[in-house]
Amino acid sequence: MYSCHVCKLRQKNLYHYERHYRLHSTSHNLSLPCLKEWCSRSFRSFNALRVHTSKCHSGQKSHHDGREYVCPHAFCSQKVWSRLEMTKHIKGHISSGLKTSCFMENCRRQFQNSNTFSAHMSRCHSHQAKPPSSYSQHDYDSDGAQPRTDMENSESLSFAHSAEQANTSCEGPGEASLETTHLALFFMKLEAMHLVPASVVQSIANEMYFLDSVAKDSKVSGICRVVECFDVSAEVCHAVVAELKAEQSPLCPDSGVLRSMHSRSQFYKNNFAVIDPVEVKCAHARSFHYVPVKETLEAFLSDISVQKLLSRTNDLEPGFLQDITDGKLYGESNFFIAGENTIQLLLFQDAFEVANPLGSARKKHKILGMYYTIANMPPFAQTKVHAMQLVMLCYDSTLQKVGHDVVMKSLVSDLADLEKDGVTVNGVRYNCGLLSCLGDNLGSHGIGGFVESFSRSKYFCRFCEVTRDAFMADFRSMGPRRTAESYEKCLKRIKEEGLDSCLGVKFDSSLNSLLSFHATSGLPPCIAHDLYEGVVPYDLSLILRRLAIEKKWFSIEELNSRIANMKLKGHDSKNRPCKVSCEGNCRGEAVETFYLVRFLPVLLFDKVRDVQDEAWQLYLILKDIVTLLASSQLHLLDFSPLHIYACGTRNVVSLKHDVEYTPYL
């Protein structure tokens, strides 16, 4: 018997086990555990489970065919009850240099090559693969060792059918069947993950209902034809047909629970953890939408897969950095270190355009989006899109009109309640705090209360108080590091002297009212914005211009042709490097720029005329920096070459500044 790890329903064989698990395939973070009790592996797909079972547990399973096979060599005469085992045995003889005959009945072909023997078995004896007698593949027990008796088969089939029927058809008041839930999750997946419009989903639902009706009519006709052949009474035939037609489809236009957009929305709210956004009214006839953090966090922590991720421990050797919790900032936080079951929230903000940014609607529909995820989860889970929870959507024009304090008020209030009261899930109380707020430099300075003019302001850095003149004179210059005390002194001067800003500080951030956060330490640099969309494309463009346009090592057209025609496999196939403009500019997305830096030596393997060329050496330095900073794990000693690289070239001035404070953050 195979037990479902989601609903505990037991199935008699792999066929029913797989069919049943397909009903859970749309469930969030579904994992398929290995069927062997002593194996702790789990998988995301049935194909991966099959491959694992074949590779790791094939030797632990007996392939009994109900027929005895004898080795054709007289000196051996090995006898087995499995064709697979005998095939392996014969290949062993062939590999040792023996000319061996086929072991199948009435076949005496001889082979000296294992591949030829395998091809012969597949082509000539594949029809003999099924075991003899009336036993079928479903008549084997869970280990495949011995065929069952007719009595055992009938009992198992009856149990599997009745159990499956009880689980999928019997519904209590207000409860949805497993098939209906599966279909609802499928529709929700189309809308939420694949961004299919609700009108298109409705068209799909209508067509599915029509096809289901046609299939049901075809089934009725088939049943009637079969019943007539067995001389069954008309009453029985009508009863069977009536029972089949009485089945209510969830897509029925009259009363189906998934018949329309409105009914599907109600079904989602009644059966799933759906948190509706709240429209917050502001002055000047403005508004924005906020999703309550406390409610989404409670629903998120109720997920079993999330609880398993939170229970994982990170055993990291001293001196290594793998996550934000390995930094000095986290170690100095009394809020997170002192409490038990503390949830560390990571807030992310960025503005995006939903219209053509170059057209007449430029900035008209620019929206600020805020999300959060949980830092307690392993790094691989933090980066998943479905692990990020929406917090807020606000027009950028509304933010500029009403100010940060008004927009952030609801969020700060919820975060303060979470710090004080926490959230209780399944009897476990979790203390929650804001560990960090991520985003681009413009957004981070706006939330943190710092000046947002990077090209003109005297104090442009949120990490230290270096001046623009000192920085331009010597890009290695570092000012005094900003602290909560220096931040408060600046605010005091602004209030007393009526200044617009003081040492780069404009106003007190609303997030500073939280016990777990302060703007001077909770706004780290963003590797995607600062490195892959800032330093790297700037330096790489200069390097390509020098090599392609000035030194004529290659042409930009030739480089773009190689980028378009290079063959990539696996994860790399989804992230082809960006093409370079005719002027040598790299204007791709962050991941495209990363892959261009990574694959450039492969693209130009036959074009580099002098490996000691200054431009090529600068590229190698840039590639080392990107490789180090993109590593999943770093040692503190790895920051020494970063300092050397950053100081060795004038173009990575901002990187030098970030590297100084990254170990601290």
Quick check: 307 and 281 in contact, CB under 8 A?
no
**What average pLDDT does the chain have?**
79
Q: What is the mean pLDDT of residues 207-225?
A: 85
Q: How far apart are CA 371 and CA 350, in angstroms?
A: 9
Under 8 Å CB-to-CB from 580, ≥6 apart: which residues?
Answer: 544, 556, 559, 560, 563, 586, 596
Residues paired with residue 430 on neighbouring β-strands, in sequence order: 423
276-285 burial code (b ≥16 CB/10 A, e <16): eeeebebeee
**pLDDT score of 308:** 80
The neighbour count for residue 203, using CB atoms within 10 Å, is 12
Asked whether residue 167 carries a pLDDT value surpassing 70, the answer given is no
Handedness of CA 223, 224, 225, 228 (dihedral sign): positive
Tokens 């547990």, located at residue = 57
- pLDDT confidence tier of residue 528, bands split at 50, 70 and 90: confident
| pLDDT of res. 578 | 84
Beta-bridge mates of residue 280: 288
How far, rounded to the nearest angstrom, does the alpha carbon of residue 237 sit from its chain's CA centroid?
Answer: 51
Residue 182 has pLDDT above 60, yes or no: yes
The Cβ-side half-sphere exposure at 70, using a 13 Å CA radius, reads 8
pLDDT per position as a tens digit, 298-336: 988 888 888 888 876 666 677 788 888 777 777 778 788
Helix (H, G, I), strand (E, B) or coil at 426: coil
Q: Taking Cα atoms as reference points, which of 12, 21, 3 lies closest to residue 139?
A: 12
Which token pair is 15?
């066929």
**Would you call 584 helix, strand, or coil by DSSP?**
coil
* Residue 361 confidence class, pLDDT cut points 50, 70, 90: low
pLDDT band with cut points at 50, 70 and 90 for residue 494: very high
pLDDT band at 207 (very low <50, low <70, confident <90, very high): very high
Q: Three-state SS across 477-508?
A: CCCCECCHHHHHHHHHHHHHHCCCCECCECCC
Report whether 347 contacts 438 (CB < 8 A).
yes
Q: Give the model confidence (pLDDT) of 233-257 as tens digits.
A: 778 888 888 887 777 888 988 888 9
> pLDDT above 70 covers what percent of the chain?
81
The answer to whether residues 556 and 548 touch, using CB atoms and an 8 Å cutoff, is yes
Write out pLDDT tens, residues 430-479. Answer: 889 999 999 888 999 999 999 988 888 899 999 899 998 898 888 778 88
Whether 643 shows a pLDDT value over 50: the answer reads yes
Identify the band that residue 339 occupies on the pLDDT scale cut at 50, 70 and 90: low
403: left (phi over 0), alpha (psi -120 to 50) or beta: left
Torsional sign, CA 173, 177, 181, 184: negative
User: DSSP string covering 599-646, please?
Assistant: HHHHHTTTT-S-TT-HHHHHHHHHHHHHHHHT-S-EEGGGHHHHHHHH
Number of other CB atoms surrounding residue 103 within 10 Å: 21
Q: Which residues contact 225 (CB under 8 A, 6 or more apart)?
A: none
Q: Which amino acid is at 413?
A: S
For 539, the enclosing helix (H) or strand (E) is helix 536-544
pLDDT tens digits, one per residue of 20-56: 766 666 666 667 777 666 676 777 777 777 777 777 7
Mean pLDDT along residues 481-489: 91
Higher pLDDT, residue 228 or 196: 196
Least reliable range by pLDDT among 60-64, 133-137, 460-464: 133-137
CA distances from 230 to 140, 217, 224, 227, 237 (A): 31, 21, 10, 5, 11
Joined tokens for residue 155: 């009992």
**pLDDT-based confidence at 574, cuts 50/70/90?**
confident
pLDDT tens, position by position, 362-408: 777 889 999 999 988 887 788 788 788 999 999 988 998 998 889 99
Q: What's the helix, strand, coil split of the chain in %, to 5? A: 50, 10, 40
> What whole-number distance in Å separates Cα of residue 512 and Cα of residue 344?
16
Query: Would you state the structure tokens that stand for residue 278, as one six-digit string?
Result: 């709240």
With a cut of 60, say whether residue 166 has pLDDT above it. no
**Is residue 464 helix, strand or coil?**
strand
What is the distance between the alpha carbons of residues 525 and 463, in angstroms, rounded to a whole number? Answer: 9
Q: What angle do CA 81, 85, 90 make, to 5 degrees?
A: 115
Beta bridge partners of 580: 586
Q: Look at residue 66 in the predicted model and tell me its pLDDT.
A: 60
